[in-house]
Amino acid sequence: MWLIITEKDNTARRIAGILFGKYKNEKINGINVYLSSDGEKAVIGLKGHIVEVDYPAEYNNWTKIPIESLLQADLVKKIKEKKIADAIEKLAEKADLVTIATDYDREGELIGYEALEIIRKVRPDIRADRAKYSAITPDEIRKAFSNRAELNYNLAKAAETRQIVDLMWGAVLTRLISLSSGRMGKNFLSVGRVQSPTLRFIVDREKEIREFIPTPYWEITAVFSNSEKFSAKHEKRFLKKEEAEKAFSRIGETAVVRKFVEKNVKEAKPTPFNTTEFLREAGKFMPPDRAMNIAENLYMAGLISYPRTDNTVYPASINLKAIVKKFLNSEFAKEAEIALSHMKPSRGRKETKDHPPIHPVGIARKSELSKDEWRIYELVVRRFLATLSPDALWAVRNAEIDANGEIFRANGKKLLKAGWRQVYTYVKTEETHLPELKEGEILRVLSKKLEEKQTKPPSRYTMSSIIKLMEKYNLGTKSTRHEILKKLYTRGYVRGNPLKPTEVAFAVIDALKSEAEVITLPDMTAKLEEDMDRIEEGKLKQERVVEESRDFLSRVLETANREELGRRIIEGIRKDSVVGRCPECGRDLLIRKVKGRFIGCSGYPDCRFSIPLPQKGRLEITAKKCKEHGFSVLRLRPSRGKSWTFCPYCGYLEWKEKEKKTEA
DNA sequence: GCAAGGTC
């Protein structure tokens, strides 16, 4: 029998369809297997990595095992997907040839090897080869399976090296930081090649904001008129008050139009969705990990295409028109008409052959989906239709006005043809009015204004802007970025959106910067990528790369001052538990845990002020402050049901009030 | 209980 192994179930089914025509779908251990009608060929899909590298179980006790011993440990490969492993073993018993048909990339090569290693345990001498394809189209697949190659051992080794290096650095530094600060159990503090540089970006930005000193500047605006009124801005931003005042006083009662330009400008429709852009847009109304989960569900329900892709160009193999036509009988009939009137797809910059851009593949009614599912589905549909719709057209006007030597500029824009804007309703249409002017025309100055303004600090990253930044620095992949962000939240490193780092985050980044700065920089990923390339070329050995990491980490462990590290992080933890100021003595109020949790004064035992807290459920401090008392708003996540937020001091005052009444 | 990477 010929056994074909793919990266996931879905591709297994599609490949069976292409290679066998009709196929039989059987289950082994509940795992889908697709057989040719004579039963001589079988395709089975994995679930990505079905094994993972880890330390042997005896290293599990963080407090008893010295961290140094992790550096000498032999790593083991643990089977994560037992059912799949058993199923391929069973199939291998009957097979005389195995073809690895996982994704054609570094991780895919390793995923294939993992499956082959499991098979070789029962069939050490089985023949194995590799099918390489970059799109699941009949042509590509047939070509790939008739021109099979050898497995690329070096490529798989490169990916395995990444796993080992990531685990080693992650485990050693995670334990170092967690053990020295006493943050154990589910409160541990993590460190990693991707998460730590990402967190550093967020912390560095927060520092810039804290250290920002606003500087004043002056702006002059004036209202002019011919037959209509409009306002214009002085071309200069004045840094000195005297200069601004001098210019301001020069402005007389009339002015003259120096330049007036009017032109029509096309505004290109948006480009097809890749994962990053999709999450960015969904980020306007939903956190990315949730958006990704929903997209995953919609994909499995056959409503949208595969949501993990880098591609922003529709391949020729998709029948775009057929898809649009399906929407003529849907909630998007009007939008489909607009797309059909044009049908010229836009193209993004990145063109890859892995998967098409995210687009709808099936029709859903609003009533069939949950509220959030519908929002994501609608976003994908509207984006898709917009990429096929006509460009928008704007009438743009620019004027330059001379008021006694002081130059003002005014701009106007008016939407002439809405085009794709009627379809993709997530961008606001903002028009500004500027009447038609003539060069040399004399205007009246109706009023003028001199305003003092302040420069503003940079803004915090949002979920979508930080994902974009990670992409720019090659941190993580399209499939992992949103999960890395989620990690930063659950570790208590960031709160809210825009992302505000906690004091613990500051302390951890500071600690890492002084002990092992490279883990906080994108350079580590860049270096690892270079090493992997060289391993793939056969010019570098895995052992050398691992040895280099081992040397570095062992030096870190030798020199790190754990007491000092711990002190700094614990101080951060204390600051993070501050929820407000004590109304009795003015000192910090903290969330404390002494036989149950409560809010207590940091001045205890001098000050015994306290506020009770609910004992059950997970309690989080949000980034929001109560408008009335300046207290941190808390969020309670009960084990069942919806979470809610409250100001502990408001609750306390209400409770006091009630108590008074019952006494009376 | 540690990472990041696949996939669900």
- The A 106-165 residues near strand B by Cβ under 7 Å are 107, 111, 162-163
Burial of residue A84 (number of CB atoms within 10 Å: 0-12, 13-18, 19+): buried
| Closest residue to B6 (CA, C1′) | A48
Which distant-in-sequence residues (6+ apart) come within 8 Å of A187 by Cβ?
A492
| Distance from residue A50's CA to nucleotide B8's C1', rounded to whole Å | 13
CATH of A2-151, one of 3.40.50.140, 2.102.10.10, 2.60.40.1120, 3.10.105.10: 3.40.50.140
Where residue A664 falls among pLDDT bands split at 50, 70, 90?
A: low
Report the alpha-carbon distance of residue A598 to residue A271 in Å, rounded: 52
Asked if A288 contacts A479 with a C-beta cutoff of 8 angstroms, the reply is: no
Residue A552 Cβ under 7 A from any strand B atom = no
Report the alpha-carbon distance of residue A504 to residue A311 in Å, rounded: 38
Asked if A75 contacts A167 with a C-beta cutoff of 8 angstroms, the reply is: yes
Q: What token pair was written down for A10?
A: 């879905």
Kindly list the distances between the CA atom of residue A149 and the CA atoms of A12, A100, A133, A239, A469, in Å, as whole numbers in the listed order.
19, 10, 11, 68, 37
Residue A66 Cβ under 7 A from any strand B atom = no
Which distant-in-sequence residues (6+ apart) come within 8 Å of A293 by Cβ?
none
Residue A194 Cβ under 7 A from any strand B atom = yes
Which distant-in-sequence residues (6+ apart) come within 8 Å of A245 by Cβ?
A450
Cα torsion A465, A468, A474, A478: sign: positive
Per-residue pLDDT at A138 = 85
Pairing of strands A2-6, A41-45: parallel
Asked if A359 contacts A323 with a C-beta cutoff of 8 angstroms, the reply is: yes
The dihedrals phi and psi of A97, each to the nearest 5 degrees, come to -150, 135
Report the alpha-carbon distance of residue A48 to residue A395 in Å, rounded: 51
pLDDT of A309 over the 90 cut:
no
Q: Which nucleotide is nearest to A166 (CA to C1')?
A: B3
pTM: 0.85
pLDDT of A103 over the 80 cut:
yes
Which amino acid appears at position A38 of this protein?
Answer: D
Peptide bond between residue A56 and the one before it cis (omega within 30 degrees of 0): no
Give the model confidence (pLDDT) of A88-98 as tens digits: 999 999 999 99
Asked if A536 contacts A158 with a C-beta cutoff of 8 angstroms, the reply is: yes
**3-state secondary structure string, A332-365?**
CHHHHHHHHCCCCCCCCCCCCCCCCCECECCCCC
Per-residue pLDDT at A20 = 95
Domain formed by A216-268+392-454, architecture: Distorted Sandwich (2.70)
Give the model confidence (pLDDT) of A552-592 as tens digits: 999 999 999 999 999 999 999 998 888 989 899 888 898 88
The dihedrals phi and psi of A327, each to the nearest 5 degrees, come to -85, -5
Q: For residue A251, give the nearest of A405, A443, A440, A400 by alpha carbon.
A: A405
Beta strands in A36-96 (DSSP E): 41-45, 51-54, 76-79
- The A 170-189 residues near strand B by Cβ under 7 Å are 170-171, 174-175, 178, 184-186, 188
Report the range of poorest mean pLDDT among A186-195, A290-299, A345-354, A383-392: A345-354
Angle, in degrees to the nearest 10, between helices A371-386 and A288-300: 80
| Distance from residue A464's CA to nucleotide B3's C1', rounded to whole Å | 23
Altogether, the residues listed in chain A come to a count of: 664
Per-residue pLDDT at A629 = 83
| Distance from residue A38's CA to nucleotide B6's C1', rounded to whole Å | 32
Which residue is catalytic, options A306, A377, A461, A649? Answer: A306
Kindly list the distances between the CA atom of residue A540 and the CA atoms of A409, A441, A536, A550, A553, in Å, as whole numbers in the listed order.
61, 74, 8, 16, 20
Residue A300 Cβ under 7 A from any strand B atom = yes
Residue A55 Cβ under 7 A from any strand B atom = yes
Cα torsion A561, A562, A565, A571: sign: negative
Which distant-in-sequence residues (6+ apart) come within 8 Å of A161 by Cβ?
A531, A532, A535, A542, A545, A546
Report the alpha-carbon distance of residue A186 to residue A625 in Å, rounded: 26
Alpha helices per DSSP H over A517-632 = 523-536, 542-559, 562-576
| Distance from residue A300's CA to nucleotide B8's C1', rounded to whole Å | 9
Query: Which bases of chain B come closer than 7 Å to a protein CB?
Result: 1-8
Q: For residue A448, give the nearest of A261, A255, A239, A227 by alpha carbon.
A: A255
Q: What is the mean pLDDT of chain A?
A: 93
Report the alpha-carbon distance of residue A134 to residue A108 in Å, rounded: 12
Q: Is A426 an annotated catalytic residue?
A: no
Kindly list the distances between the CA atom of residue A307 and the CA atoms of A120, A316, A464, in Å, as whole numbers in the listed order.
34, 19, 16
Residue A13 Cβ under 7 A from any strand B atom = no
Report the alpha-carbon distance of residue A134 to residue A109 in Å, rounded: 13
Residue A309 Cβ under 7 A from any strand B atom = no
Report the alpha-carbon distance of residue A241 to residue A451 in Å, rounded: 10
Which distant-in-sequence residues (6+ apart) come within 8 Å of A661 by Cβ?
none
Residue A383 Cβ under 7 A from any strand B atom = no
Per-residue pLDDT at A299 = 86
pLDDT of A594 over the 80 cut:
no
What percent of chain A stands above pLDDT 90? 79
Report the alpha-carbon distance of residue A175 to residue A195 in Å, rounded: 15
Residue A11 Cβ under 7 A from any strand B atom = no
Report the alpha-carbon distance of residue A338 to residue A341 in Å, rounded: 5
Domain boundaries, given as residue ranges, for chain A: 2-151, 161-210+460-569, 216-268+392-454, 275-386, 580-663
What's the rounded mean pLDDT across residues A265-291?
Answer: 93
| Distance from residue A164's CA to nucleotide B4's C1', rounded to whole Å | 10
Which amino acid appears at position A120 of this protein?
Answer: R
Residue A473 Cβ under 7 A from any strand B atom = no
| Distance from residue A8's CA to nucleotide B8's C1', rounded to whole Å | 10
pLDDT of A650 over the 90 cut:
no
| Distance from residue A197's CA to nucleotide B2's C1', rounded to whole Å | 18
Task: Find residue A402's DSSP bridge partners.
Answer: A256, A407
Give the model confidence (pLDDT) of A105-153 as tens digits: 999 999 999 999 999 999 999 999 999 987 777 888 999 999 999 999 9
Q: For residue A258, give the nearest of A400, A412, A396 by alpha carbon.
A: A400
| Distance from residue A285's CA to nucleotide B3's C1', rounded to whole Å | 30
Q: How far is CA A134 from the centre of its chain?
A: 25
Report the alpha-carbon distance of residue A543 to residue A565 in Å, rounded: 31
Q: What token pair was written down for A521?
A: 């920089």
Q: What token pair was written down for A148?
A: 């099979």
Where residue A617 falls among pLDDT bands split at 50, 70, 90?
A: confident
- The A 477-496 residues near strand B by Cβ under 7 Å are 477-480, 483-484, 487
Where residue A406 falls among pLDDT bands split at 50, 70, 90?
A: very high
- The A 338-357 residues near strand B by Cβ under 7 Å are none
Residue A609 Cβ under 7 A from any strand B atom = no
Asked if A150 contacts A129 with a C-beta cutoff of 8 angstroms, the reply is: yes
- The A 76-95 residues near strand B by Cβ under 7 Å are 80-81
Fold of A161-210+460-569: Topoisomerase I; domain 2 (1.10.460)
The dihedrals phi and psi of A531, each to the nearest 5 degrees, come to -60, -40
Report the alpha-carbon distance of residue A648 to residue A626 in Å, rounded: 9
Alpha helices per DSSP H over A212-273 = 241-250
What one-character DSSP code corresponds to residue A367?
Answer: G
Residue A32 Cβ under 7 A from any strand B atom = no
Angle ∠(A89,A92,A96) on CA atoms, nearest 5: 165
| CATH class given for the domain over A275-386 | mainly alpha
Asked if A55 contacts A76 with a C-beta cutoff of 8 angstroms, the reply is: yes
Q: Which nucleotide is nearest to A53 (CA to C1')?
A: B3
Q: Which nucleotide is nearest to A63 (CA to C1')?
A: B1
| Closest residue to B1 (CA, C1′) | A185
Q: Which nucleotide is nearest to A167 (CA to C1')?
A: B3
Report the range of poorest mean pLDDT among A250-259, A351-360, A369-378: A351-360
